[in-house]
Amino acid sequence: MMDDQVTGVHERLAAHPALRPVAFGEGRRFRLWDLAALAEGALGECLDPDSLTVSSEKRWRLRLGSDGRDSGREHGHADDMRRRYWIRSPDGRGGGRPLGTVAVDTCPTGTGALRVSSLYVHPVARRQGLASAALDLVHDACRAEGLHGFRLETHWTWQPTVRYYLGRRLWVTSWKHALGFARLSYLPRYEVRETAADEVTFLVADGEGELVPLLVAGSGGGRLRLKETEWYGRMTEEGGAVGVYVRATLALHLAVRGRPLVRGKEEWARAHWSCDIGEPEGLAYRIGAFERVARESGWRVESPYGGLSLV
């Protein structure tokens, strides 16, 4: 059963004109839209979900390695543990017909956040900010009910999706089984800036809202050079989640740019220590595993590293 906070979140979402709860009898249609999202992410194939027939659905599920029971979703997740919504145009354009999908959990995580899944916008309705608006709605509803925000996951090999979430400045909070992202009240606004010196600087907002640099990443000889600033020292001394996630978030920003993630042999020898979250070498270690599993599954792999070794 949902607690009062989560109930309040879903009441707010259901009441907003940009969303409509999936009605009884619409489950299969929602699953077909999930299937279209999976086909595009895994194989780079754009489908019209409402044009899928029973036979074409079966062919796509077989091609994607699906068992036909809980497939087509970005992540298998029981429906009684989440509420599903159609994304609609908030200004009424399109006659209220579905333009996308999103699902939100009915139980918060241990960090006081709700998990988002099935985020997808139909190809004909993109470039209108619908996905961003849906994420903002979830975040605002969570905050209004006293929760910290939301978490979501995607696959490393789904590069457009990864870049989209980084472009929205979501924090990277895990890479254990997939890439975990979050927008949480206790994680401040951040920016990533590239300089003329070919360095990448990670900045976060301090207590007064001013952006201060924490880490500066450069490269030389095919290796990562990572410099910590005075501000980074202060923040890690104070503790808190920023000190945990800042290195991981910068690491993924470097990875999508195809930049080195390994500082040296000693750091690489300890990479497995960060196979859940942590140092850049841990992400390099996981990327190798992510791409290997994707190839074995027959998924498309378009890596910023072009098949080159990350080590």
pLDDT tens per residue across span 280-295: 999 999 999 999 999 9
pTM metric for this prediction: 0.93
Q: In the CATH hierarchy, which top-level class contains the domain 4-154?
A: alpha beta
Q: In whole angstroms, how far apart are CA 2 and each of 5, 9, 103, 108, 148?
A: 8, 10, 15, 9, 17
Tell me the C-alpha to C-alpha distance, in Å, between residue 213 and each of 177, 232, 236, 245: 30, 8, 13, 15
What's the confidence (pLDDT) of residue 127?
92
pLDDT band, residue 209 (cuts 50/70/90): confident
Q: How far apart are CA 291 and CA 135, in angstroms?
A: 28
Structural domain boundaries in the chain = 4-154, 157-311
pLDDT of residue 96: 79
Task: State yes or no: pLDDT of 123 exceeds 70.
Answer: yes
Q: What is the mean pLDDT of residues 78-91?
A: 86
Mean pLDDT value of segment 168-181: 97
DSSP SS3 for 214? strand
- Over residues 161-179, the mean pLDDT reads 97
pLDDT band with cut points at 50, 70 and 90 for residue 91: confident
Is the pLDDT at 74 greater than 50, yes or no?
no
**What kind and span of H or E run contains 181?**
strand 179-184
pLDDT surpasses 60 at 298: yes
Per-residue pLDDT band at 208 (split at 50, 70, 90): confident
More confident residue, 307 or 150: 150
Query: Would you place residue 239 in the very low, low, confident or very high pLDDT band (cuts 50, 70, 90)?
Result: low
- Per-residue pLDDT at 268: 95
Identify the band that residue 67 occupies on the pLDDT scale cut at 50, 70 and 90. very low
Phi, psi of 293 (to 5 degrees): -65, -40
Task: Identify which of 172, 184, 12 has the alpha carbon closest to the alpha carbon of residue 111.
Answer: 184
pLDDT level of residue 68 (50, 70, 90 thresholds): very low
The per-residue pLDDT for 79 is: 67
SS3 234: helix
Count of all residues that appear for the chain in the document: 311
> Which pLDDT band holds residue 76 (cuts at 50, 70, 90)?
very low
Question: What is the per-residue pLDDT for 110?
Answer: 84
Q: What is the reported pLDDT for 180?
A: 98
In percent, the amount of the chain with pLDDT more than 90 equals 80
pLDDT band at 196 (very low <50, low <70, confident <90, very high): confident
